[in-house]
Structure 1
């Protein structure tokens, strides 16, 4: 019995087992305590700066304060671009746990059409920095705001913020001159100062809005706020106020701009008016226009495609970028070039049989009046727009001399100070053709340039500028759109202005003016009907730019051509001749002769500016010069 009890219990062995287990347990406790202490040291010492920052960020948030964009006025203080209060939807990616789920919920709540969903998702990824808000939608409706408010607890990182949104009261008449603002895209994001544009969702895209972006935008501010665990702002800890953008006063007269749009009456083309003495652009119209307000909040896909596919190209700024043959509007400039080069005098005459022939060439370069004008001097050549006279003059001058003198008036160059996207047009030369086509220049091409055809391409802005320089007797004043930037007046004398055109005999200016006055008031003037009843002295020149070339014996008949194959109508003018206050260029696409269409528009523009009248003339009984 005793042996059996000893077999069941061994006190020494149990004591040994207990000691081993106690030692293991003690080691385990020491090890775990050491690990815990090491972790505490790591968190509180090594990672102290990291976690103190995170802790502070849970309580303090820095919010950008976007500046108020500057307003834009016309020369008379009429508001052209304002800021209206609206509500925007923004998203801060850093505060969103599941981007895809959040976007899906937003798409459902806002009831977005399928065509806009991809763009909506793309905008959520637009900001490079995850802590900066990305603009998802602008100009939310009251219904959308209500849905977002009810579901706010399901949308961390999504905010509805009140902000001022750009609005253009006269969008269609000012669309190309003003341009518009739009959402900042990824490419622009890389170019803009991220600090200054933090919280800003819009940037100037075209026109004045783009050119003067730095002045109109202002400087961003920021504020530090204390928040609770749910992100609700408890109090403001500090603030740096934003600096509003500068207001911009333009040289444009809204009433004159509106008149120009009315005069175009939906036809394709452009009217530009400049004050010669100051270079102020009084009107700059390209028709048809478009509603620039559509682009501010983000134009829908269908509307944008409709604008892009419109055969009339409403998005294209014809005033600054349209390339047109100058037609006979170049003849006053050609005449002055001939006087300066000594190839002609005002009294020199030629006999016009209705055509011109180069030496040893059987081809006939025809005058627009097929039986000719007979005996023609310089003044009459301008008045009746005689082609033969200017064919002869062009041949005597040569293309290089023509190009040199035409560049002095700004042809083939950018001529303005602040018109965004302005084109240079094209003033050809022998060297240009060699580089462009690797071909020699031919004498017949010089004759074409001499009457404003061939390779020569001008913009309406260049024509108006050249006319202003002509009216100023060669004095250059750089055209501009800005009259005042904030409280600072833009000076008349701007840097990089071209040198004045000086000639040895100032009476030559009067000789050129005499021919241009006769265009409107002379017995043979090509635009004498448009000049009927003038109450001031006005000089002008009509032009007809061919859309396609005719064969040598072919006769132009507008009635047999499709509308878009008909000639463009051009007219340049300045008035009063003895004290120029306005210089005008008019181009009406596919309208026929410049004297029978464009001249009336120029007359109405001059009447409105000089006399304060905007009576619209009719052109029912007009005569075309065909040149």
Structure 2
């Protein structure tokens, strides 16, 4: 029994020793090598799998360091290596040098690279190990690459999509600018550095730093700062300084400058925070990115996709460049807006730097022709990099030129009264011919109101009916009618006109609100809401759109910003009957001919509209700042409805100040 046990153990040991002594085949070794290759384990590949002959020619610097750098520079990923094993188990002798066709495929910055390489295996000894090893050369990395060849990557830049207005006028284009610079041998650094720094809005230290770079030569142009093509005054001043000149460079341009700055925005160099958010979308630290407005909102659509070319520069006498892979650039998509740039510029100019906002909308199609915020900033300055001091100045300006007012909401004041009247007419609570006898400029329903009361500016002759109330903007009349309507009717009516819902517009706008919580708690809040005070807030685009049912027999179309959007798409309908709309249109004409909008009664064009003044009270019953509104349109052939708001008009004649500005825009 013991003999058999000893014999069994002996046989097991023989089998184990035989297994341990079994050598890897060339196929086994190549399979292990390719697995490491896929994982970019270059050190392990070099140390454990390269033949001594290959290591003698190609040291760690050539194999490990160069290959690692190549993979990084070319952004090589998803490496796939395939080779076909012989059909039958083949026996190899130590002196054999079998070759295996290997298919190599990889993704790079310039697209896929695919090639075939024959890999030779040799048997040898490396250190204490005898095994099959790979005979390697640089053509394993790229086809036909040799040790002395140079690998290059060239960027094929894409063009950013341009933004155009409805008539093809350029709003944001790939134009030209200037690179201001110095020829050192002609420039007196001590005498003129400070002078030039003031002109270019930089510092003398920065100029000196640029001039003292290691590569600078006396007769060589040294770039200092980019200057927009619109900044001709700067160019003229700087070239008066001896040694200062410029070259023309490609640059994003905004031909309409401040008038469209909040809508179009600008681009600039991506910062670290921005890159962190979008790095998975292919952005790099050298990229430009939209910073504001449509440039930011539609950056991915506008930016395009750069291409790249990978090439090998051969070491022969002709220094031939062989393209290995190439990905063509894809230009960004250009956009056409419904904006009329000339009308926008005219509107912005009429606002004359006052704090406010304006829009103009075609009531039939919904096309937004004007969308501006005032005051503004020059996007051409921002695209070249605005200085910290200038940005600080803009930030601290009390008129807030960086604030986009057309995206915000404001109490509309009496500009909402035609909408309140439309709600009452449709509900049947307002009878156009019914008149109230109202004495004095202040009224309250009863003593339950306490100190609260309703005041009016004008005291037209009694009785006060709808026409007189609109023409003379009588708060007391609308307070009485609001009580007649009741909270439910008024809230439901405003909701039908689009309050408390997102405005269906391609540019994000704040929704208009009836109140902070969509309720009206007291009669005081009810009457305040009826004439656009209380907690009511309204966006300027929505305000202009809400007048369109008076001109389209009850329909409000969706406002549109892009030329390729569907026009005349119904947003709300059945808001007012043709008969009631006609009543309000007649009243709005008399606002201009006989009432608060007389400053729009000009000979060149007939205008209808409604004024509004919203009081921003600083304390109970204390008069504070006032925002002025006017919503107007051409009476006979209405091309657009314009709504304009100017802040702090209390010392400028009230809402009539705004009426004059709208009339200036509409004047032929």
* TM-score, normalised with respect to structure 1: 0.69
* 1:393 corresponds to: 481
Q: Is the 1:353–1:373 contact (alpha carbons within 8 Å) kept by the matching residues of 2?
A: no
* 2:11 corresponds to: none
Q: Is 1:500 aligned with 2:573? A: yes
* 1:136 corresponds to: none
Q: Secondary structure at the match of 2:538?
A: coil
CA separation of 1:301 and 1:209: change in aligned 2, threshold 3 A: same
Q: Is the 2:357–2:373 contact (alpha carbons within 8 Å) kept by the matching residues of 1?
A: yes
Q: Is 1:324 aligned with 2:410? A: yes
Q: Tell me the CA shift for residue 481 of structure 1.
A: 2.3
Q: Is 1:239 aligned with 2:326? A: yes
* 2:666 corresponds to: 606
Q: Tell me the CA shift for residue 364 of structure 1.
A: 5.6
Q: Which of residues 313, 324, 349 is equivalent to 2:435?
A: 349
Q: Per-residue displacement from partner, 1:373-425 (whole Å, max 9, x unpaired)?
A: 42111122111111111101222333443233223333444425222x42224
CA distance in 2, matches of 1:43, 1:263: 87
* 1:284 corresponds to: 371
CA distance in 2, matches of 1:235, 1:40: 43
CA separation of 1:44 and 1:595: change in aligned 2, threshold 3 A: farther
Q: Per-residue displacement from partner, 1:114-155 (whole Å, max 9, x unpaired)?
A: 9999xx9xxxxxxxxxxxxxxxxxxxx941399xxxxxxxxx
CA distance in 2, matches of 1:42, 1:176: 73
CA separation of 1:181 and 1:590: change in aligned 2, threshold 3 A: same
* 2:394 corresponds to: 307
* 1:531 corresponds to: 601
CA distance in 1, matches of 2:170, 2:447: 63
Q: Is 1:266 aligned with 2:369? A: no
Q: Per-residue displacement from partner, 1:554-573 (whole Å, max 9, x unpaired)?
A: 7x6xxxxxxxx442211111
Q: Which of residues 445, 451, 454 is equivalent to 2:531?
A: 451
Q: Which of residues 637, 648, 659 is equivalent to 1:590?
A: 648
- Give unpaired runs (5+ residues) of structure 2: 1-51, 57-124, 180-201, 211-219, 226-247
Q: Secondary structure at the match of 1:144?
A: strand
Q: Is the 1:225–1:233 contact (alpha carbons within 8 Å) kept by the matching residues of 2?
A: no
Q: Is the 2:153–2:309 contact (alpha carbons within 8 Å) kept by the matching residues of 1?
A: yes
CA distance in 2, matches of 1:186, 1:314: 26
Q: Which of residues 216, 219, 226 is equivalent to 2:312?
A: 226
CA distance in 2, matches of 1:201, 1:402: 52
Q: Per-residue displacement from partner, 1:538-597 (whole Å, max 9, x unpaired)?
A: 320011111216755x7x6xxxxxxxx4422111112235x4211011111111355421
* 2:543 corresponds to: 463
Q: Which of residues 581, 587, 593 is equivalent to 1:515?
A: 587
* 2:98 corresponds to: none
Q: Is the 1:582–1:606 contact (alpha carbons within 8 Å) kept by the matching residues of 2?
A: no
More displaced, 444-453 or 203-212? Answer: 203-212
* 2:521 corresponds to: 441
* 1:72 corresponds to: 163
CA distance in 2, matches of 1:411, 1:502: 13
Q: Is the 2:434–2:466 contact (alpha carbons within 8 Å) kept by the matching residues of 1?
A: yes
* 1:125 corresponds to: none
Q: Is the 1:476–1:498 contact (alpha carbons within 8 Å) kept by the matching residues of 2?
A: yes
CA distance in 2, matches of 1:41, 1:302: 69
* 2:184 corresponds to: none
Q: Secondary structure at the match of 1:266?
A: coil
CA distance in 2, matches of 1:298, 1:81: 17
Q: Per-residue displacement from partner, 1:181-231 (whole Å, max 9, x unpaired)?
A: 1222334334437565469711222212223323322233221122479xx
Number of equivalenced pairs? 485
Q: Is 1:568 aligned with 2:627? A: yes
More displaced, 76-85 or 167-176? Answer: 76-85
CA separation of 1:86 and 1:269: change in aligned 2, threshold 3 A: closer
* 1:143 corresponds to: 222
Q: Tell me the CA shift for residue 526 of structure 1.
A: 1.3
Q: Is the 1:356–1:392 contact (alpha carbons within 8 Å) kept by the matching residues of 2?
A: no
Q: Which of residues 545, 569, 580 is equivalent to 2:638?
A: 580
Q: Is the 1:574–1:580 contact (alpha carbons within 8 Å) kept by the matching residues of 2?
A: yes
* 1:544 corresponds to: 613
Q: Is the 1:115–1:301 contact (alpha carbons within 8 Å) kept by the matching residues of 2?
A: no
* 1:297 corresponds to: 384
CA distance in 2, matches of 1:357, 1:586: 31
CA separation of 1:387 and 1:407: change in aligned 2, threshold 3 A: same
- Give unpaired runs (5+ residues) of structure 1: 1-32, 89-111, 121-140, 147-161, 434-439, 484-488, 557-564, 608-612, 614-627
Q: Is the 1:520–1:532 contact (alpha carbons within 8 Å) kept by the matching residues of 2?
A: no
CA separation of 1:41 and 1:417: change in aligned 2, threshold 3 A: farther
Q: Tell me the CA shift for residue 533 of structure 1.
A: 2.6
CA separation of 1:376 and 1:223: change in aligned 2, threshold 3 A: same
CA distance in 1, matches of 2:456, 2:589: 21
Q: Is the 2:429–2:485 contact (alpha carbons within 8 Å) kept by the matching residues of 1?
A: yes
Q: Secondary structure at the match of 1:511?
A: helix
CA distance in 2, matches of 1:587, 1:39: 86
CA distance in 2, matches of 1:115, 1:171: 31
Q: Tell me the CA shift for residue 245 of structure 1.
A: 1.7
Q: Is the 2:498–2:572 contact (alpha carbons within 8 Å) kept by the matching residues of 1?
A: no
CA distance in 2, matches of 1:443, 1:318: 31
Q: Is the 1:183–1:202 contact (alpha carbons within 8 Å) kept by the matching residues of 2?
A: yes
* 1:481 corresponds to: 561
Q: Secondary structure at the match of 2:598?
A: coil
CA distance in 2, matches of 1:385, 1:42: 102
Q: Is the 2:275–2:284 contact (alpha carbons within 8 Å) kept by the matching residues of 1?
A: no
Q: Is the 2:415–2:631 contact (alpha carbons within 8 Å) kept by the matching residues of 1?
A: yes
Q: Tell me the CA shift for residue 260 of structure 1.
A: 1.2
CA distance in 2, matches of 1:442, 1:412: 19
Q: Tell me the CA shift for residue 529 of structure 1.
A: 3.6
Q: Is the 1:382–1:516 contact (alpha carbons within 8 Å) kept by the matching residues of 2?
A: yes
Q: Which of residues 158, 170, 173 is equivalent to 2:259?
A: 173
Q: Secondary structure at the match of 1:305?
A: helix
Q: Secondary structure at the match of 2:616?
A: coil
CA distance in 2, matches of 1:594, 1:412: 29
Q: Which of residues 494, 497, 511 is equivalent to 1:424?
A: 511
* 1:486 corresponds to: none
* TM-score, normalised with respect to structure 2: 0.65
CA distance in 2, matches of 1:44, 1:299: 64
Q: Secondary structure at the match of 1:374?
A: coil
Q: Secondary structure at the match of 1:351?
A: coil
Q: Secondary structure at the match of 1:389?
A: helix
Q: Is the 1:64–1:198 contact (alpha carbons within 8 Å) kept by the matching residues of 2?
A: no
Q: Tell me the CA shift for residue 457 of structure 1.
A: 1.5
CA distance in 1, matches of 2:586, 2:319: 75
Q: Is the 2:602–2:663 contact (alpha carbons within 8 Å) kept by the matching residues of 1?
A: no
